[in-house]
A and B are shown apart, each in its own frame.
Chain A
């Protein structure tokens, strides 16, 4: 396979992920390889044990030669991006601290962490990469208050990816709409399309008569978000995670945050990283990706494409 020829096979690929900062994994220039982070599920449960032969990747509709690596053994950097605006004050902040502890417990000793908080200010509370043991002290210092700069904070997470090692998982928690960012949310989506970072979101979105939206409504909102972000601001997180191949977990009450955070880490570990060197596709511009998997009843979650 092409990736094997260039990098010395899948083991070399894994080794590179383990020791090099993220900048070296950038496939947008120099190295031709493209990485696609993929989750395969059946009945809502991750499917493991798949090989390259089980996948088909279409890059702008053209089938590619792939090599799959199950990244269970590769350390990850968990970059937490947490809403600490005024609405999180009190009991929600206590639950949020507990949720972060749960995520940290799901990590392995050689995993790394980073912690970014945001109200109307975005703060790097724990610099990535740091050992997970650095989290408890930082959590004790968290205070809630102020407005919400969700877009700026997620953009900052992409910028901080330069510092991370291994695979990077960005976990964004927010309980409200952006009210204070400078950056346009479409700009963050554009940045996401030029990165291979997977973003998971956790939101508090209790179903009330005021915010109930049926499935059709949600689909409409997500379809229109890129052209009308001011109208559909609440769809920012769902749209962002769809772009990156992640998922949003809704903790319908604050007490379920722990489970949601823990699940994000566990699910991320079940993902595959497919790599290929594009053939017979134009080098520049938007590349739509389609990932298929063999086997009935299996569904695939992967980023929608990438920009070169």
Chain B
């Protein structure tokens, strides 16, 4: 079999493996991928959506099967990674298009095909910062933006199994678990038993978040966002001592970016207020305000603290500058922490640009 394959491959001495295995019957599909790489996105997506989902999988099977037979044969030309990546990205953008028209199931089907393309280019071990790692993060965020918390959480569970050592993915998984655990639910007339079940589910979700963030820290002990998330989840689980240690460790660092320094002070201030140490809480909140005067969360935190001490006028004085400032493009780090605003589109934009270079 290998000999036969080699013999056929000879005329394409300068070709890549995938060029070869993309047989003539797949030419229309290949043309769409090329169109996408050329920047003709709408044309490519429209063409792609004309294919039946099952047919797409069959075509991918034929490419994947042939690749699997050739890999390690000693006659294994380099994979055309750019093609695989472009196909993965094309299906991802097609999914986005379907979501925008309310076709969620069809969108998830496109994601499944996209994942298969991305996995065709898998490496063992997967290099740090590889396209596939970043692509998976971009997909997770898209599934969240379009499908919501639960779809994204299911998706990231799969991804973390595939890439269990990926710190950004683990941190994102921690974020998703944290947010799902904190999302309001409607329990209807479930009664006390229903409430207890929901509480348990919430704690389990927070436990998942702590596990994921902890795993990220185990791989990269100085991972700042993982430490912040773990600290906050510990606070939510009322493990205040552990949370405080993590936050003190962060605040003591000299390389902490301003938004994270701001968040660490906010969280530690909240712990201090809870521990009935209003002076320390006030100092931390004022430090956060000084770090980012336009930050609303710090002003709300400080105003609330002053309000509880009976200083209502002081609370208003602290809060009002934050209410009247022009926001411009500023997003409070706390909002970014909770919602991850803007990360997904930027990341996917960078991946697209990479394919077209």
Q: Residues of A at under 8 Å CB distance from B?
A: 23, 26, 28-29, 116, 120-124, 127, 147, 149, 152, 155-156, 158-160, 162-163, 177, 179-183, 187, 190-191, 211-214, 216-217, 220-221, 224, 228, 230-234
Contact = CB atoms under 8 A, between A and B. Distances in A.
Given A29-B310, A124-B323, A124-B324, A220 B316 contact: no
Of the four ranges (under 10, 10 to 19, 20 to 34, 35 or more), the interface on chain B belongs to 35 or more
A26 B332 CA distance: 33
Contacts of B101: none
Contact of A162 (B182, B198, B316): B316
Given A121-B296, A163-B316, A234 B266 contact: no
Contact of B327 (A23, A121, A149, A187): A121
Contacts of A163: 316
B338 to A, nearest CB: 6
B303 A159 contact: yes
B106 to A, nearest CB: 22
Nearest to B295: A182
Contacts of B320: 124, 159-160
Nearest to B185: A231
Nearest to A181: B300
Contacts of B331: 120
B189 A159 contact: no
30 contacts: A23-B312, A23-B313, A120-B331, A120-B335, A120-B341, A121-B296, A122-B322, A122-B323, A124-B323, A147-B338, A147-B339, A149-B335, A155-B303, A155-B304, A158-B307, A159-B312, A162-B313, A177-B183, A179-B338, A179-B339, A182-B301, A182-B334, A217-B186, A220-B191, A221-B187, A224-B195, A231-B185, A231-B195, A231-B198, A232-B185
B348 interface: no
B315 interface: yes
Given A180-B339, A233-B184, A159 B307 contact: yes
| Interface pairs A-B: 9 shortest CB-CB | A233-B184, A182-B297, A124-B323, A217-B188, A217-B189, A162-B316, A120-B335, A216-B189, A159-B316
A90 to B, nearest CB: 15
A230 B184 contact: yes
B188 A214 contact: yes
Which of the listed residues B182, B202, B296 has the most CB atoms from chain A within 10 Å of its own CB? B296
A122 to B, nearest CB: 6
B243 to A, nearest CB: 15
**Highest count of chain B CB atoms <10 Å: which of A120, A190, A211:** A120
A214 B190 CA distance: 11
A304 B317 CA distance: 29
B100 interface: no
Given A152-B296, A159-B315, A213 B184 contact: no
B343 to A, nearest CB: 14
A39 to B, nearest CB: 26
A162 B312 contact: yes
B339 A120 contact: yes
